[in-house]
A and B are shown apart, each in its own frame.
Chain A
Amino acid sequence: MINQVKIGLAEAITLLVITMATKLFLTYPLIIVSRGGSAAWQIVIISGLVTLVFFWLILKYIERFPDRSFPETAEYISGPYFGGLLVMVLLLPWLFELTMTFRRFGEMIVIIALPETSIGLIMLIFFCGAGLAAYLGLSTIARACHLVFPFTLGAALLIVAFSYSNWDTDWLFPIFGNGPWITIKEGVIQSSAFYELSFIYALPLVFYAHQIKKIGYTSIIVTTVILTTMVLAYLLAFPAVVGEEPYLPLYNMARSVYLGRFIQRIEAIFLLFWVISGYLWVSVGVYGLCHILKDWLKLPDHRPLVLPALIIVFALAFIPQSLPDAVLKTGEYFNNIAFIPIFGLPLLLLLLAVLLGKGGKNNAEK
């Protein structure tokens, strides 16, 4: 049995923030703007607040079972069969989102950089890079996140700063967009965007137990701030009607930068950071998948699982036949319901544990 790798506070926070915020480079602003119109930025804030509440409950669950992995807890609480089912409930959406994001990153590169290259080749390269990182393990990925985070954030903020000349505060009105009730409803639903937070309760043992609380709250708040800033900047630069259209909103924003004859045409530079954060996202996903499987199957090491898992993800990623399918259709399914399994799962377990009197102080003998 390999020693459990632990990652430190700053690494854990950046890991979660990078994974949760990377969707900015993909379709997230588009989805949010299409739901909320000119009030899209409020949706982000509401979903952040909702996620904070959910996390408070998740924390209760984690504190009750401090030194068990997720499959262990699930099986401990609800028996091996139902517990196995619960692990599947965790794994399947995970696999689904991983697959789709994998595909979306591939499509992103086709659109931004390599319009005439086959997506198979691009995704194969992605496969190798993410596979390497997942194989090297969580500490490498977490350190990479920690190292890359300031640069990626800087690049994103640079886009915001450069697009300043295009800003028009009129685009933020009407202030309530499609109506306050829609905004609140979408705010709850869009807490699905904090999907990657499930990393905390699915792999609780990679964090230092006493830091989990801080990690969770900080990363949610930081992510909400980043997402809000970017969505707000996007809304300022493009009116809501137009903002719903592009596949890669931030790419469009970078393309619209024109500060004289020299500072323009800068979008390809951002590609560097976007690709790297895409790699990080996929490798975190693959690593998490392998890690949960490892815990579930009680294997000593996650490494042998990396290649098979990647091959499955790779194969599944080609199922949607077109880009709009990979974004709109799956987004509809996923974004609307994902928050139920993500945040419902630990709550269900917590509820069962309380009812059955397992875990916590009753668990002293363990």
Chain B
Amino acid sequence: MQKNSRLRLTAALLTLLVLLFAAGCGSNFEPDALSYVLLIGIDNGAQNLLRVSYLIAVPKVIAGGGQGGGGGGGGEGQRSAEVITVEAPSIYASMNMVNSFVGRKISLMHAKGIIFSEAMAKDGSMSVIVPGLTQFRETRGTAFIAVARQKPEEILTKMTPFLESNPAKYIELLAGNQSFTGYIPGEKLQDFYNDLKIGGINPVSLLFAVSDENLPPHNGQSSYRSEGDYIAGEMVKKGGVFLEAMGAAVFREGKMVGTLNGDETSIYSMFRGQYDRRIYTIKDPLKPGNLVIMDVSQADKPRIKIKLTGEGPIIEARLSLEGNVLGVNSLIDYSLPRYRSLLEQAFEELIEQQARDLVEKTQQEYRSDIIGFGNKARRLVLTQKDWEQLNWPALFEEAQVSVDVEYKIRRTGTLLRLMPVARSSD
């Protein structure tokens, strides 16, 4: 009797469960019932508020990459990712709108980056949209955030890697190249959002542009120009992917106020401790007509000290770098101590100059503390109230910044000594 009632109870519970399961637990989607967005492009709309573009992966082309060859080659075969653009009042609405002509449900789970148009960045609507993106479950804080100098949909259309069959891999690798080029900031969506929210720092973002794929004719007047002295879209290049990612966009109070070129971005990264390594080509300090090429990496985290005085804050920044000499055109043997210290000194001065220029630019031109001196200044106050009373943005503009760079050459490539070339005329 009692055994029966236990059995009955179990049976009733099981039936209930089965019914509930049947009634719906609709969170599951077959992997081939979703369409995976790899990149989102957001622009002002012509008729509606936003014009949203999606770069959607085409799995069958990507997985069949072996026989399909370069899916993105352009002419033959299907592209490995398709660009879809709709106009909508909001991003999430645009997802549903896309699904009125795309069968598979749009999913932002694997979105690797978000690209805004320069116009949106400049009128501040980008900073309005970003918090909404961090609130959404599918987008991740680890996606990169970029400003496009052209239309975002154009950037997405050009996103046809020739090496990778999978554009996602291309995008992720491209954004990760920051660690050895230093031309772009390592800012992710979450960092952008954090910087936007707190008072001591202003955000930056990546800068994307379509390259014009035009090699100018030779006129015999080429001259030295630092490799970082470019902003996306200005580089002279041809082939590969018709895109450039170089430099950074600077924001103040949520609005884009200017750009940094590759060199400035490297210095910015050095200040923020995000710099890893890059190659510098500098003029030879002893023979100015020649060049020295070095692989420069960060030796130590930057140390930034701030003092508050009557005339405003005094900031002392100390960057320590170390390097590896890769090539010396002048054939001066920089492995000898007397030459080496000269080279080190020259490079220190160069970086110090660039750093001072960058700080000045942010203070006077952009009036935006992207370097985050404000964050360091938080150490000077005891409570949140004091910090708010400090009014850092105003203080920042009158801060006296001194930069001290310490550079040490650790090794000289594969060669220990550099012997002069025998020349008959000398």
Interface residue ranges, A against B (CB under 8 Å): 37-38, 111, 113-118, 120-121, 124, 128, 166, 168, 170, 173-180, 238-239, 241-242, 252, 255-258, 260-261, 264-265
Residues of B within 8 A of A179 (CB): 383-385
Contact check, B25 vs A121: say whether CB atoms are below 8 A apart.
Answer: yes
Of all chain B residues, which has the CB nearest A110? Answer: B27
Q: Does B188 contact A (CB under 8 A)?
A: yes
Closest approach, in angstroms, between the C-beta of B197 and any C-beta of chain A? 5
Check if B200 sits within 8 Å of A238, measured CB to CB. no
Interface contact A177-B26, CB-CB below 8 Å: no
Cβ 8 A contact of A256, one of B142, B200, B381: B142
Q: Which residues of chain A come closer than 8 Å to B190, judged between CB atoms?
A: 166, 256
Q: Are A174 and B176 in contact (CB under 8 A)?
A: no
Q: Which of A115, A174, A252 contacts B383 (CB 8 A)?
A: A174
**Among candidates B17, B24, B198, residue contacting A239 with C-beta atoms closer than 8 Å:** B198
Does B411 make an interface contact (CB < 8 A)?
Answer: no
Are A113 and B142 touching (Cβ within 8 A)? no
**A170 adjacent to B200 (CB under 8 Å):** yes
B-chain residues with CB within 8 Å of residue A180 when the two chains form the complex? 383
User: Which stretch from B312-320, B346-354, B370-378, B400-408 is at the chain A interface?
Assistant: B370-378
Q: Does B65 count as interface, using CB distance less than 8 angstroms?
A: no
B17, B197, B379: the one contacting A124 at CB < 8 Å is B17
Interfacial chain B residues near A177, Cβ < 8 Å: 383-384
Chain B interface size, as a band, is 35 or more
**Is the pair A261, B387 in contact by a Cβ cutoff of 8 Å?**
no
Q: How far is the CA of A286 from the CA of B176 in the complex (A)?
A: 49
CB distance from A334 to the nearest CB of B (A): 25
The 9 closest A-B pairs by CB, nearest first: A173-B378, A170-B375, A114-B27, A258-B142, A117-B25, A116-B27, A179-B383, A116-B26, A173-B379
Binary CB contact string for chain B from 198 to 214 against chain A (1 if under 8 A, 0 otherwise): 10100000000000000
Task: Please give me the residue from chain A that is nearest to B138 by CB atom.
Answer: A115
Q: Is B194 a contact of A261 with CB atoms below 8 Å? A: no
- Chain A contacts of B384 at CB under 8 A? 37-38, 174, 177-179
Partner of B197, one of A38, A239, A256: A239
Measured between C-beta atoms, what is the minimum distance from A169 to chain B in Å? 9
Q: Which residues of B contact A239 (CB under 8 A)?
A: 194, 197-198
Closest chain B CB from A163 CB (angstroms): 11
Q: How far is the CA of A120 from the CA of B169 in the complex (A)?
A: 40
Check A261 against B383 for contact (C-beta < 8 Å): no
A118 lies within 8 A of B383 (CB): no
Q: Are B141 and A256 touching (Cβ within 8 A)?
A: yes
Query: Given the interface contacts A239-B198, A261-B176, does A115 sit within 8 Å of B382 by beta carbon?
Result: no
A-B contact pairs, 27 of them (CB 8 A): A114-B25, A114-B27, A115-B27, A116-B26, A116-B27, A117-B25, A118-B24, A118-B25, A121-B25, A170-B372, A170-B375, A170-B378, A170-B379, A173-B379, A174-B383, A175-B379, A176-B383, A177-B384, A179-B384, A242-B194, A242-B197, A255-B142, A256-B142, A257-B142, A260-B176, A261-B172, A261-B173
Contact with A along B132-144 (1 / 0, CB 8 A): 0000010011100
Q: Please, which residues of chain A bring their CB within 8 A of the CB of B17? A: 124, 128
Q: How far is the CA of A128 from the CA of B383 in the complex (A)?
A: 48
B242 neighbours in A (Cβ, 8 Å): none
Query: Across the interface, do B137 and A111 meet the contact criterion of CB distance under 8 Å?
Result: yes
In the bound complex, residues from chain A placing their C-beta under 8 Å from that of B366 are: none
- Among residues of A, the one whose C-beta sits closest to the C-beta of B29 is A116
**A16 CB, nearest partner CB in chain B, Å:** 31
Interface residues of B in 281-300 (CB under 8 A from A): none
Chain A residues, CB < 8 A from B25:
114, 117-118, 121
- B140: A residues at CB distance < 8 A: 255, 265
| B193: Cβ under 8 A from any A Cβ | yes
Closest Cβ–Cβ distance, residue A168 to chain B (whole Å): 7
Q: Is the beta-carbon distance between A175 and B382 smaller than 8 angstroms?
A: yes
CA A177 – CA B378 in complex, angstroms?
10
Q: How far is the CA of A173 from the CA of B382 in the complex (A)?
A: 8
13 more A-B contacts (CB under 8 A) besides A118-B23, A261-B176?
A: A38-B384, A115-B27, A117-B25, A170-B378, A174-B379, A174-B381, A174-B386, A177-B383, A178-B384, A179-B385, A239-B197, A256-B142, A265-B140
